Structure 1
Amino acid sequence: MTYLVTGAGGFVGLALLDHLLSGGATVRAFNDRPLAPEALAHFATLPGRLEPIRGDVRDRAAVAAALKGTAGAVHLAAITLGARADIVPARRAAEVNTLSTAILLEEARRAGVPRVVYPSSGAVYGALPLGPEVVTEATEPAPSGLYGFTKLASEALAKEANRDGLSTVRARITAVFGPWEYDTGVRETLSPPFQIAARGLAGLPTRIGAGGARDWTSSRDIARALATLLRAEAPPHDLYNLSSGAIWRPDLLAEAMQSKTPFDWSLTGAGTDEGDLEYNDDLSRTRTPIDGRRFREDFGFDYLTPEAAAADYAAWLATPAASALLTPKGDAA
């Protein structure tokens, strides 16, 4: 099977490439810049075949060519804006996040691609997960920033394409962290677990906000889930929340890292204190996990426990690829 992954050089894209190539698939990795050499070296050891494609997801001809002969596509290309929304002009973010989705869906229908998976985001729910009600796929979206609106608009395009005969599945990703996350320049705020990892590898003392409990979900699980949706013959639903459902603080990762890369860290006493980390939401409010039971029940899917997810990430951080990716280039020997 040959699959197309756009935004392949990003955090989740690399995790998905790792998973698909480990299973022996041929993967066309579409990205606007070369894949990280550290990732390429690892992928070369896997049984699948990697076909890197350098291109712009707004380029219709390039997207059409990449889709030819594929058994499915995962459209991960996006610019992940945070509260500041200042890493790129708003117009470019809208074009990359939404216009490219329209282009890919249209070309996938023309090419007869059997399945398109659109990875959306929990950002379409805005601040709802910080409220008392459990957020399910039936919850009315309430995005509060440009990023959430672009993802919701792309969801609408995917849903419309599904009605028009193209098999599409939308997957709302929540609080993802883990292997292959590094600073690619297209995410405004990297995950607090990543920030802990980067500071730990740099030997920097780190104060971790006591209020940072979230439904952190491993990139390994997200990759497996997206691959499941890509290959499913007839998904029972066309919309799924992808969330481990377990609320935990990222100091669990710091504990897991101690046996591999000891560093000085502490937990702040106040729930509103971010410590040395940066968050995208209000630490004074309790987070309710986004409900991911639909996906678990439809596919018999088991997520890693928080302890297993933290241990897996800590083990990955000890690899040469992780050390190279997380070390600022100016600090490299």
Structure 2
Amino acid sequence: MTYLVTGAGGFVGLNLVERLLTEGHRVRAFNDRPLPQAALARFCALPGKVEILRADVRDRAAVNLAVQGVEGIVHAAAITLGPKAALTPARTAVEVNTLSTAILLDEARKAGVARFVYPSSSAVYGAAPFDGAPVTEDREPTPAGLYGFTKLASEALVAEAARDGLSTVRARITALFGPWEHDTGVRETLSPPFQAARRILAGVPVAMSPAGARDWTSARDVARALALLLQAERLPHDLYNLSAGACWRPSLLAEALGRRMPAAWSTTAAATDEGDLAYNDDLARTRAPIDAGRFARDFDFRFMTPEEAAEDYAAWLEALGPAAFASL
């Protein structure tokens, strides 16, 4: 099969491209900047074949060429804004996150693409994960910032395309961490586990608050889930949450790294201290995990536990090496 992945140089994109190539597929990796050399070296050793397309997702002519002859599309290109929304002008974020979705859906319909997968975000739920009630797909979206609104607007476009006959599915992804995370310049705040790993591998002590547990989910698991949605013959639902279903602190990753590599790190932050890691929300609030039970039931899917995911990432970092990690 031939699949198109937009935002292929991003966090989700790199993991998905790797997954599809591992399965032996042909992947058109669409991105507006070069992919990391470490990722390209890895991709070339996999059974599938990767074709790099460097262009802007707002460029209709480039998108038209990219969709020709593909069986499925995963539209992962996005600018991930935090609460301050200071990364880029609002107009640019809206164009990249939402206008590009409209363009890609239109070109996909005209090209006869069989499946369109849209990686959305738990940001559409706003503060709901902090109110103590389970956050299922039935929860009314209440985005609190521009990023959440752009993702919800794109979801509406995807749902409308489904009514017009295109097979589509939306996946609301929770907090991500894991292999291939790096600073692409389009994510306002990198994950606290990544921040911790960067300091630890550089030999810099890191203080971690006893608060701040979140449902960080392995990007490898999310890539597996998106690949399933891309290739499934039947989609029982058109909307899924993707989450490991358990909250944990970055100290779990630090401990996994400490068992594998010498590192200087500390968990001596006081109970009221936010520590050295940047979050997108208030650490005084307790977050509940997003409920991904629907996806697990429909596809008999098991996410890695926090311990397994932290160990998997630590093993990946060890194999990659501190120097290569720093150069991503």
Q: TM-score range by the shorter chain?
A: over 0.9
Instruction: Give, in whole Å, the separation in 2 of the partners of 1:62 and 1:151.
Output: 22
- After superposing the two structures, state which structure 1 stretch, 258-267 or 24-33, moved more: 258-267
Q: Deviations over 1:197-235 (max 9, x none)?
A: 100111100001211211110001000000000001111
Aligned to 1:17: 17
Deviation at 1:65?
0.8
Q: Deviations over 1:57-113 (max 9, x none)?
A: 001111111111111000000000001211111100100000000000011011110
Aligned to 1:278: 278
Instruction: Give, in whole Å, the separation in 1 of the partners of 2:224 and 2:301.
Output: 9
Counterpart check, 1:85 vs 2:73: no
Q: Deviations over 1:238-263 (max 9, x none)?
A: 00000010111111000000122222
Q: 1:236 to 1:259 in 2, by over 3 A?
A: same
Instruction: Give, in whole Å, the separation in 2 of the partners of 1:161 and 1:262.
Output: 52
Q: 1:323 to 1:313 in 2, by over 3 A?
A: farther
Deviation at 1:270?
4.7
Q: Does the 8 A contact of 1:211 with 1:271 survive in 2?
A: yes
Deviation at 1:321?
6.6
For 1:36, the aligned partner's letter is P
Aligned to 1:162: 162
Q: Does the 8 A contact of 1:3 with 1:25 survive in 2?
A: yes
Instruction: Give, in whole Å, the separation in 2 of the partners of 1:198 and 1:286.
Output: 25
What is the identity percentage for the equivalent residue pairs of Structure 1 and Structure 2?
Answer: 68
Deviation at 1:272?
4.6
Query: What is the count of residue pairs matched by the alignment?
Result: 328
Counterpart check, 1:239 vs 2:239: yes
Deviation at 1:17?
0.8
Q: 1:241 to 1:268 in 2, by over 3 A?
A: farther
Instruction: Give, in whole Å, the separation in 1 of the partners of 2:238 and 2:321.
Output: 35
Instruction: Give, in whole Å, the separation in 1 of the partners of 2:271 and 2:181.
Output: 26
Structure 2: state its 5+ residue gaps. Answer: none
Q: Does the 8 A contact of 1:115 with 1:230 survive in 2?
A: yes
Aligned to 2:147: 147
Deviation at 1:269?
5.3
Counterpart check, 1:37 vs 2:37: yes
Instruction: Give, in whole Å, the separation in 1 of the partners of 2:111 and 2:232.
Output: 19
Q: Does the 8 A contact of 1:273 with 1:283 survive in 2?
A: no
* TM-score, normalization by structure 1: 0.96
Alignment of 1:252-271 (within 5 A): 252-268=252-268, 270=270
Aligned to 2:131: 131
Instruction: Give, in whole Å, the separation in 1 of the partners of 2:161 and 2:216.
Output: 31
Deviation at 1:268?
4.8
Instruction: Give, in whole Å, the separation in 1 of the partners of 2:291 and 2:175.
Output: 13
For 1:150, the aligned partner's letter is T
Alignment of 1:216-231 (within 5 A): 216-231=216-231
Q: Deviations over 1:31-61 (max 9, x none)?
A: 0011111110111111100000000000111
Counterpart check, 1:181 vs 2:181: yes
What SS class does the counterpart of residue 171 from structure 2 fall into?
strand
Aligned to 1:58: 58
Q: 1:322 to 1:25 in 2, by over 3 A?
A: farther
For 2:240, the aligned partner's letter is Y
CA-atom RMSD, angstroms? Answer: 1.2
Aligned to 1:316: 316
Instruction: Give, in whole Å, the separation in 1 of the partners of 2:141 and 2:262.
Output: 42
Instruction: Give, in whole Å, the separation in 2 of the partners of 1:36 and 1:260.
Output: 25
For 2:81, the aligned partner's letter is L
